């Protein structure tokens, strides 16, 4: 399939034919990854990052890296001119 490059403001653009857009489930606002491969421009649907299991995330937490607090965060001491 041949498409024509057109000028659009300060950039250039191509129109994706309706049949291709329908086949790839492309609608207005669909994010695409674009890269060059030699002399070719490769477009692909942006994929989501794979989800990691919660157990794997928790296993990477290092308790030693957290400092212990010496006092409670909500202390009852007056700071300004509060009326108690």
pLDDT for the residue 62: 82
CA torsion through residues 26, 31, 37, 38, sign:
positive
Query: pLDDT tens, 25-49?
Result: 999 988 899 999 989 999 988 877 7
pLDDT for the residue 68: 64
Are 3 and 15 within 8 A, CB to CB? yes
Domains of the chain: 1-69 (2.10.260.10)
Query: pLDDT tens, 46-68?
Result: 877 788 899 998 898 887 777 66
Are 60 and 52 within 8 A, CB to CB? no
pTM here? Answer: 0.49
pLDDT for the residue 8: 93
What are the distances in angstroms from CA 74 to CA 71, 78, 83?
9, 11, 17
What is the C-alpha separation between 16 and 45, in angstroms, rounded?
Answer: 13
């Amino acid at each position: 399939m041949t498409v024509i490059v057109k000028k659009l403001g300060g950039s250039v653009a191509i129109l994706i034919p309706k049949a291709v857009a329908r086949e790839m489930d492309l609608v207005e606002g669909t994010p695409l990854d674009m890269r060059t491969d030699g002399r070719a421009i490769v477009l692909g649907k942006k994929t989501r990052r794979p989800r990691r299991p919660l157990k794997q995330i928790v296993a990477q937490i290092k308790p030693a890296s957290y400092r212990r607090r010496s006092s409670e965060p909500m202390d009852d001491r007056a700071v300004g001119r509060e009326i108690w």
